[in-house]
Amino acid sequence: MKSLSDLPEIDFGAADYLAAPLPVLAGYSARFKLGRSKRGIEIFDYDLCRDAILSRSFGTGHPKLMNVLGLPEGPALNYKRNSISFHNRGETRRRLRVPLTTLMGPEGSERFRTDIKHVVNLTFAEIPKNRPVDLIEALCDRIPSRVYCYWINAPMADAEFVSRTSHIVQQVHTRNPETTKDVTEGFERLLDYVDTRVEAARQNPGDDLLSDLIRATDAGHLSEDELRNWVVKLAEANTDNSSHQIAIAVIELASRPEIWAALGQDTSLVSQALREVMRYHPRSLSTSRETLEDVELDGVHIPQGEAIFPNIGAAHWNPNYFPNPETFDIYRPDKPTHLNFGGGIFSCIGRFAVTIEIEEVIAYMVTHFPDLKITKSSFAHSPMFTSVSELEGILDA
């Protein structure tokens, strides 16, 4: 049996990775299934990635992440320790998921579609036409943060705070202690804000997600702290990730005029086009896990407590599973599934609502702006994420 020292070393700071990570990850997946980097053990094979995401031998990587960051004792760390991200597989995690999976499953999320369409229409009505516009600020950040405001019955003016704070707290995944102060202060502001919104919803309950969560709490399914933590988690994870995924979809689809035109002629193709966007250029390039026991992967002994990183980008560009992975093909079969939203009890609870947000944005754009011009765009990549650092476009009136 091989040991960890036998694994090839991976440098995510290398120029070729930073310039074009997906072809580099594809090269790794063609040569080996496992590697090691400064952050831990890297998985590049689709089946091994899927197994690590689903297997009960692997737990959440968040406790190790907090140690790497050195998050100080206080409200932010207390929130992280008690949120679902810290709980491994077991009864506590299952219980915490039940109210949200009921409210935000496929059917539950569909009830948000009307409000999401309203947010999309409102947002596009505000964007100037026929001149270059920063679409990250004017579109990609506003859609998910405004949807969140609908969920918690908050004034639409709060969307800018929600967006800005979500971007700040998501820096936890940089694994860079230089971000710790900003992240800590961001979580503290978000916690205070959520306390205010929960109190307002208790005073004036309505037909919104927060009111539904309060009713679930009153029925004994969540504690008051668990209610608060979920409302924070929805802001923490939703806006930043959704904003970048919307931007990625706009760039990848609008940069292919023949596909953009096809979607405009038949918007029923939008859903499958987005599946290919998430396969071809995923927001999440990897996810983190920790071994809960000694395991063997591809003949390598990995001891308990090791940080493990299933590389989603490598899995999506593995030709053994996705033929000609470098080809962007919206007619590609939907099996195997992309891993952007994880899986099993660690799957993203908001994945259905987020998908609806992106579907409605793209459906609106392909029908209203058939001649959309992307004038500037650029990506930034880390071992964990694809981020859109610039997106400017002209919406034709």
Q: Kindly write down the DSSP assignment for every residue of 267-335, as one continuous string.
A: GGGHHHHHHHHHHHS-SBS---EEESS-EEETTEEE-TT-EEEE-HHHHHT-TTTSSSTTS--TTS-S-
Handedness of CA 65, 88, 317, 279 (dihedral sign): negative
Distance CA 23, CA 29 (A): 10
pLDDT tens readout for residues 38-64: 999 999 999 999 999 999 899 888 888
State which amino acid sits at residue 225. D
First-to-last CA distance in the chain? 64
pLDDT tens readout for residues 126-174: 999 999 999 999 999 999 999 999 999 999 999 999 999 999 999 888 8
The total of structural domains in the chain comes to: 1
Residue linked to tokens 């033929």? 323
Contact 129, 186 (CB under 8 A): no
H, E, C per residue of 333-387? CCCCCCCCCCCHHHCCCCHHHHHHHHHHHHHHHHHHCCCCEEEEEEEEECCCEEE
- Ranges under pLDDT 50 in the chain: none
Distance CA 174, CA 315 (A): 21
Q: How far is CA 106 from CA 93, 351, 352, 356, 366, in A?
A: 20, 9, 6, 10, 24
Q: What is the pLDDT of residue 243?
A: 95
Helical (H) or strand (E) element with 134: strand 133-134
Contact 144, 116 (CB under 8 A): no
CA–CA–CA angle 89, 95, 100 (5° rounding): 105
Distance CA 313, CA 291 (A): 21
Which pTM was predicted?
A: 0.94
Contact 370, 261 (CB under 8 A): yes
Of 98, 120, 102, which is closest to residue 111 (Cα–Cα)?
Answer: 102
Q: Residue 10, SS3?
A: coil
Q: Which residues pair with 34 in a beta bridge?
A: 43
Q: What is the pLDDT of residue 60?
A: 86
pLDDT tens readout for residues 253-283: 999 999 999 999 999 999 999 999 999 999 9
Q: What is the pLDDT of residue 140?
A: 97
Contact 264, 367 (CB under 8 A): yes
Residue linked to tokens 């800005």? 164
CATH code of the domain covering residue 45: 1.10.630.10
Distance CA 229, CA 194 (A): 9
Which tokens go with 14? 């290398």
* Residues of the domain holding 10: 4-394
Backbone angles phi, psi at 369, to 5 degrees: -130, 70
Distance CA 241, CA 209 (A): 20
CA–CA–CA angle 100, 101, 105 (5° rounding): 120
